[in-house]
């Protein structure tokens, strides 16, 4: 029944770079196949299905390099590649909805069919194993003639591949059915856990209940337990197979009976995620609300601010380092010249330098403390500071002190008491060779204002 | 939870209303969360693993490493800057300029202080004076020493001339006569500008 004439020369792998074309070929060949499958596959002979499905394996093997290490990597790239194709191009999936719900039902249909095919594949693989040209842990080493197959089928097989390739030390060839996943030494299990968690849950596969069931499902089929499989419904298959899978030592938590321990793993996963959100929150200077959206929002703003600060500091360092040297040269030239002109020239050389760099310094950041908010903007050498203070103290004094310390020339001040707040705007100019930067200004301001507040109202702290 | 994306509303086809009135709000919230995460992902250049690129956990992990990386970079640069500052500091001291003062001397503006009483405890002060570094601070100190609190402040510096108009409120119980304040301020200005 299997046409053995279609051996494919596995030693002629196409470089992965041609994946794009192949995908294109896939898509063109895909549609008729897909429609065939989705419109009631039971009418087709198993043989036809087999051949059709087998072509995909062939196609996939095109994408694999010969190195063991690379195989896993490339396969994973292929995973994403194919998955993207499948997900993003609704034309491929004629007759299937692209939203999650439709996706799952479509897959259900597919799986009933594909399981059969998979089953057959394995038998064939067994037979062909001896005859095949050995290509490293590549489960699709079957020698079939090339033709694209439904990418969904490949999707189903994907986890098997990643399992094999991610266990560098194991001798598992996935088509070697005698070596079960069960027999892995316990040290391997952390990797499995990782795999589970990294499974694309959001593809709405029926095993959205959790990774283990999915693996278990594959496992079952691989074991060739015909009885289990012939439960018919793909879902039930998964349910039963979870039992086997949970026998793996150390994987998840044990539970009685059917062993669907998804609560525990899911809870663990949720807790880990929450912890991550918390630690992200800790990194940000002043986190306000502690809900997820705000944490992420604060992180985004903080990253942008850090990028601006880095730019600013880089520019300052450059300016400092090289501006001085140029200036010294200049003043030496003008030694005989007028006092005024020599004081003006350095300004222009520095300005030229900045402009030849293509940028004037621009920074902006905000800092908040319990009662004070400071907004510092620097354009070139002018600083604009906005200050809002919740309790009424004479912050003008402390601010003016700081500004003097930092050598900022006050150009303009305005503001006053508005309701419960003091609100002020300061415009000042940076002294020419000062290398003050925005965050220093902001931090000093906040520090001193808070200090003077504490001094004034010691009781309220 | 989020898996039941569309089911909550569609369970009973007969009812056209959604079972949960909160559904829209929830959906919007989830959408917002998702959008935030995608923005964060777009902002963070380091990628640990392409397969798990869009996982919440990966996004957050990558963001954390990126932020710590940036923070370290900022710290390095600040240290560098401080170093350079230290080296060149001696050269800088005599550089403090007052280009602007040259222009004042041509203008011949007289220093002026005016104080008016607005309310029983509010004064309005107007000062015109020459600009000098640190004069604002001195002004504020005097105000504080007098037991006054600024309600409104306007300070402008134009070509070396300061125009300060501000209102103060008398916070402490004692009655402060406007003339007294005026005198103090005038004295302050004169002394400050003359000595420096």
Which CATH number covers residue B156? 3.30.70.260
DSSP state letter for A459: G
The answer to whether A234 and A112 have CB atoms below 8 angstroms apart is: yes
Residue bearing tokens 């990774």 = A211
Residue B41 is predicted with a pLDDT of 93
Residue bearing tokens 């869009």 = B54
Q: Do A324 and B88 touch (CB under 8 A)?
A: yes
Q: Do B136 and A400 touch (CB under 8 A)?
A: yes
What gap in Å lies between CA A234 and CA A217, rounded to an integer? 9
B117 vs A181, higher pLDDT? B117
Average pLDDT of span B74-93: 79
Residue in chain B nearest A311 by alpha carbon: B74
Residue in chain B nearest A102 by alpha carbon: B6
A77 touches chain B (CB under 8 A): yes
Which range of residues forms the domain containing residue B156?
112-195
Q: Do B88 and A320 touch (CB under 8 A)?
A: yes
Domain range annotation of chain A: 268-326, 362-455
A99 touches chain B (CB under 8 A): yes
Kindly give, in sequence order, each residue whose CB lies less than 8 Å from that of residue A64, ignoring residues fewer than 6 positions away. Answer: A13, A70, A71, A74, A75, A135, A138, A140
> How many alpha carbons fall within 13 Å on the CB side of residue A257?
3
In a domain, B103, yes or no: no
Same domain, B190 and B135: yes
Kindly give, in sequence order, each residue whose CB lies less than 8 Å from that of residue B45, ignoring residues fewer than 6 positions away. Answer: B66
The answer to whether A392 and A417 have CB atoms below 8 angstroms apart is: yes
What gap in Å lies between CA B34 and CA A163, rounded to an integer? 29
Regarding pTM above 0.90, the answer is: no
Max avg pLDDT among A415-429, B10-24, B152-166: A415-429
A456: how many CB neighbours lie within 10 A of its CB?
14
Alpha helices in A166-291 (DSSP H): 189-198, 211-223, 226-229, 234-245, 262-283
**Residues of chain A found within 8 Å of residue B50, distances taken between Cβ atoms:** 76-77, 80
What gap in Å lies between CA A30 and CA A427, rounded to an integer? 66
A376: how many CB neighbours lie within 10 A of its CB?
23
* Number of domains chain B is built from: 2
In a domain, B107, yes or no: no
A contact residues 421-440, partner B, Cβ 8 Å cutoff: 424, 431-433, 435, 437, 439
Q: Which of A49, A176, A58, A193 is CA-nearest to residue A112?
A: A49
- Identify the helix (H) or strand (E) that includes residue A322: none
Residue A2 is predicted with a pLDDT of 46
Interface predicted TM-score (ipTM) of this complex, two decimals: 0.77
Sign of CA pseudo-dihedral A59, A65, A70, A74: negative
Write the residue in A277, A313, A433 that is nearest to B77 by C-beta: A313
- Domain A362-455: which CATH number of 3.60.21.10, 3.20.20.70, 3.40.640.10, 3.30.70.260: 3.30.70.260
What gap in Å lies between CA A29 and CA A52, rounded to an integer? 10
Q: pLDDT band for B115, please (50, 70, 90 cuts).
A: confident
In a domain, B185, yes or no: yes
Looking at the predicted structure, is the pLDDT value of residue B63 above 90? yes
In a domain, B116, yes or no: yes
Residue in chain B nearest A202 by alpha carbon: B3
Same domain, B138 and B167: yes
In a domain, B78, yes or no: yes
Long-range contacts of residues A369-375, Cβ cutoff 8 Å, at least 24 apart: A369/A286, A369/A446, A369/A449, A369/A450, A370/A450, A371/A450, A371/A453, A372/A445, A372/A446, A372/A449, A372/A450, A372/A453, A374/A442, A374/A445, A374/A446
What gap in Å lies between CA B44 and CA B122, rounded to an integer? 54
Residue bearing tokens 């992420």 = A296
Write out chain A's pLDDT in tens, 461 residues: 444 444 444 444 444 444 444 444 444 444 444 444 444 444 445 445 445 445 444 544 444 444 444 444 444 444 444 444 444 444 444 444 444 444 444 444 444 444 455 455 444 444 444 444 444 444 444 444 445 455 555 444 444 444 444 544 444 444 444 444 444 444 445 555 555 455 444 444 444 444 444 444 444 444 444 444 444 444 444 444 444 444 444 444 555 555 678 899 999 999 999 999 999 999 998 888 888 899 999 999 999 999 999 998 888 888 877 766 666 666 655 554 444 444 444 444 454 554 445 567 788 888 888 788 889 998 888 889 999 888 767 788 888 888 888 888 888 889 888 888 889 999 988 877 777 888 888 888 888 888 877 777 665 54
In a domain, B179, yes or no: yes
B150 vs A40, higher pLDDT? B150
**Residues of chain A found within 8 Å of residue B151, distances taken between Cβ atoms:** 416-417
Phi, psi of A384 (to 5 degrees): -115, 125
Helix crossing, A189-198 with A211-223: angle to 10°?
A: 110
Q: Do A280 and B60 touch (CB under 8 A)?
A: yes
Same domain, B122 and B86: no
> How many alpha carbons fall within 13 Å on the CB side of residue A170?
24
Residue A201 is predicted with a pLDDT of 46
pLDDT tens-digit map of A394-427: 788 888 888 888 888 888 889 888 888 889 999 9
Looking at the predicted structure, is the pLDDT value of residue B154 above 80? yes
The answer to whether A155 and A86 have CB atoms below 8 angstroms apart is: yes
Q: Do B67 and A310 touch (CB under 8 A)?
A: no
Phi, psi of A97 (to 5 degrees): -75, 150
Looking at the predicted structure, is the pLDDT value of residue B48 above 60? yes
The answer to whether A206 and A234 have CB atoms below 8 angstroms apart is: yes
Task: Please tell me the total number of residues recorded for chain A in this structure.
Answer: 461
B contact residues 10-69, partner A, Cβ 8 Å cutoff: 29, 32-33, 36-37, 39-40, 43-44, 49-52, 55-57, 60-61, 63-64, 66-68
To the nearest whole Å, the CA of A212 is away from the closest chain B CA by 18
Residue A357 is predicted with a pLDDT of 52
A27 touches chain B (CB under 8 A): no
Last residue of a domain, one of B62, B92, B122: B92
Average pLDDT of span B6-17: 52
**Residues of chain B found within 8 Å of residue A196, distances taken between Cβ atoms:** none
Average pLDDT of span B48-60: 88
The B161-170 sheet, strands edge to edge:
A362-368, A372-379, A382-389, A421-430, A408-418, B148-158, B161-170, B122-130, B112-117
Same domain, B173 and B134: yes
Q: How far apart are the first and last CA of chain B?
A: 72
């Amino acid at each position: 029944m299997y046409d053995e004439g279609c051996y494919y020369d596995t030693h002629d792998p196409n470089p992965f770079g041609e994946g794009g074309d192949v995908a294109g070929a896939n898509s063109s060949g895909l549609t008729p196949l897909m429609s065939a499958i989705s419109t009631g596959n039971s009418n087709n002979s198993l043989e036809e299905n087999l051949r059709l499905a087998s072509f995909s394996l062939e196609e996939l093997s095109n994408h694999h390099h010969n190195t063991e290490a690379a195989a896993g990597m490339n396969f994973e790239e292929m995973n994403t590649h194919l998955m993207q194709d499948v997900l993003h191009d609704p034309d491929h999936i004629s007759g299937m909805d692209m939203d999650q719900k439709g996706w799952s039902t479509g897959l259900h249909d597919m799986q009933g069919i594909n399981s059969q095919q998979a089953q057959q594949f394995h038998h064939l693989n067994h037979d062909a194993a001896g005859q095949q040209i050995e290509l490293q842990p590549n489960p699709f080493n079957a020698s079939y003639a090339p033709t694209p197959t439904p990418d969904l089928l490949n999707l189903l097989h994907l986890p098997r591949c990643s399992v094999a390739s991610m266990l560098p030390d194991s001798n598992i060839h996935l088509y070697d059915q005698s070596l079960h996943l069960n027999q892995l030494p316990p040290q391997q299990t952390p990797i499995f856990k990782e795999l589970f968690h990294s499974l694309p849950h959001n593809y709405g596969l029926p095993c959205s209940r959790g990774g283990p069931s999915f693996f278990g499902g594959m496992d079952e089929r691989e074991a060739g337990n015909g009885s289990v499989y012939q439960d018919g419904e793909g879902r039930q298959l998964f349910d039963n197979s979870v039992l086997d899978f949970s026998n793996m030592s150390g994987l998840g938590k044990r539970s009685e009976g059917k062993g669907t321990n998804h609560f525990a793993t899911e809870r663990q996963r949720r807790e880990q995620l929450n912890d991550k959100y918390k630690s992200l929150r800790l990194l940000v200077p002043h986190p306000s609300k502690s809900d997820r959206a705000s944490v992420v929002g604060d992180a985004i703003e903080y990253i942008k601010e850090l990028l601006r600060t880095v730019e600013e500091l880089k520019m300052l360092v450059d300016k400092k380092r090289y501006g001085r040297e140029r200036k010294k040269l200049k003043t030496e030239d003008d030694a005989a010249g007028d006092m005024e002109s020599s004081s003006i020239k350095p300004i222009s050389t520095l300005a030229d330098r900045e402009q030849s760099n293509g940028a004037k310094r621009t920074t902006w950041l905000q800092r908040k403390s319990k009662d004070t908010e400071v907004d510092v903007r620097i354009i070139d050498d002018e600083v604009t500071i906005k200050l809002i203070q919740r309790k009424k103290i004479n912050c003008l004094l402390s601010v003016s002190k700081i500004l003097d310390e930092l050598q900022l020339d006050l150009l303009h001040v305005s503001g006053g008491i508005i309701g419960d707040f003091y609100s002020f705007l300061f415009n000042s100019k940076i002294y020419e060779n000062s290398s003050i930067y925005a965050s220093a200004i902001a931090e000093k301001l906040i520090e001193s204002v808070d200090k003077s507040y504490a001094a004034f109202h010691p009781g309220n702290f | 939870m989020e898996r039941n994306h569309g089911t909550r509303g569609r369970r009973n086809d007969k009812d056209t209303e959604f079972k949960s009135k909160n559904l829209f709000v929830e959906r919007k919230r989830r959408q917002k969360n998702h959008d935030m995460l995608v923005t964060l992902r777009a902002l963070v250049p380091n990628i640990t693993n392409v397969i798990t690129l869009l996982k919440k956990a990966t996004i957050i992990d990558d963001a954390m490493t990126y932020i710590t990386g940036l923070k370290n970079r900022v710290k390095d640069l600040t240290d560098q800057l401080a170093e350079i500052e230290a080296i060149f500091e001696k050269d800088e001291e005599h550089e403090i300029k007052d280009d602007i003062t040259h222009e004042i001397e041509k203008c011949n503006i007289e220093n002026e202080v005016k104080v008016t009483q607005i309310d029983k405890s509010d004064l309005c002060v107007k000062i015109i004076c020459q600009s000098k570094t640190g004069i604002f601070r001195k002004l504020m100190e005097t105000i504080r020493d007098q037991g006054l609190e600024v309600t409104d402040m306007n300070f402008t510096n134009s070509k070396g001339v300061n125009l300060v108009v501000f209102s103060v409120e008398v916070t402490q119980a004692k009655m402060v006569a406007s003339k007294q304040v005026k005198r103090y301020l005038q004295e302050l200005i004169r002394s400050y500008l003359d000595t420096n």
